Copies of this chain bind each other. A is one copy, B any other.
Amino acid sequence: MPNFAVKYFKKEMENKQTAILLVHCPDKQGILAAVTDFINVNKGNIVYLDQHVDYVQNTFFTRIEFDLANFIIPRDKIEEYFHTLFASKYEMDFKLYFSDVKPKMAIFVSKMSHCLFDILSRYYNGDLNVEIPFIISNHPDLAWIGEKFGIPYHVFPITKENKAEQEAKEMQLLKDSNVDFIVLARYMQIISEEMIQEYPNKIINIHHSFLPAFVGAKPYHAAYERGVKIIGATSHYVTSELDAGPIIEQDVARVTHKDTVQSFIHKGQDLEKIVLSRAVEKHIDRKVLVYKNRTVVFS
């Protein structure tokens, strides 16, 4: 079935093998100069640099991506060197990624297919530098999609009684497959505290409202009731507080008095899928940095 194989990730062809540094630390004079100088003198060609200073928090953020082809420091030593030379000196919090290491993404769904379809559409289009080991659901409804695309689809029906038990099984599955992060593609269950703690800023949810308006269930009904003229969708990392985690992406659409709850839901689906997929892409591309319940999203 060669035609069905996932296309190479597009950027593999375009880009070189790179290292990606995500950094934040208290802002001091000379940090950026020091870091870029370090990369330059060691023959790392910078292919992307964006930085941000939050003058209110006095905090410096940067994302630097550099070509490893001629980099003098061995790949498996970069983290150690960077830690020794910069991290303690500048009280840095940093993460290092390599573009050729694909993260593993589990997708959780319930009964609605639009977000799942949109993610798979991008995946097969070669836009997502990621592996999808499996789909988890509390319902069998979308099993046919997993089947068609050859992605294992695990059903864990959840009731009040078995919730802890079923989540434990899910957690085991996630660990066994070394899943890096989770996408809740309209998964209609509240994630337990244990799973949130295990995957901090690694569970991406799509909420079908313009948060913080209409937190909780049935936001389109609430929006209709309130008579809003614009509806929205919000993608955020899941934290202990319901629908209150760091926002990654939002978008909106106009509605009028001619719209109904049904048309809110229908129009909203386009928002939900695009907003979620954009957030997932940004996360995969290591362009999201969380700081004090807010995100820096590099371009």
A residues with a Cβ closer than 8 A to B are: 1, 3-4, 14, 29-30, 32-33, 36-37, 40, 45-49, 51-56, 61, 112-114, 117-118, 120-122, 124-125, 127, 140-141, 143-144, 147-149, 210-214, 226-230, 232, 246-252, 254, 256-258, 260-262, 266, 269-270, 274, 278, 293-297, 299
Contact = CB atoms under 8 A, between A and B. Distances in A.
Given A37-B37, A227-B246, 11 more contacts: A3-B144, A29-B45, A29-B46, A47-B55, A49-B51, A113-B125, A117-B124, A118-B118, A212-B228, A227-B295, A229-B248
B117 A294 contact: no
B230 A55 contact: no
A147 B1 CA distance: 11
Contact of A3 (B49, B143, B257, B296): B143
A232 B260 CA distance: 22
Nearest to A212: B213
A228 B250 contact: yes
A231 B272 CA distance: 18
A112 B29 CA distance: 37
6 contacts: A49-B51, A114-B121, A148-B149, A212-B228, A230-B250, A270-B274
User: What DSSP secondary structure best describes chain A's contact surface?
Assistant: mixed
Contacts of A112: 125
A120 B251 CA distance: 23
A243 B41 CA distance: 46
A121 B144 CA distance: 13
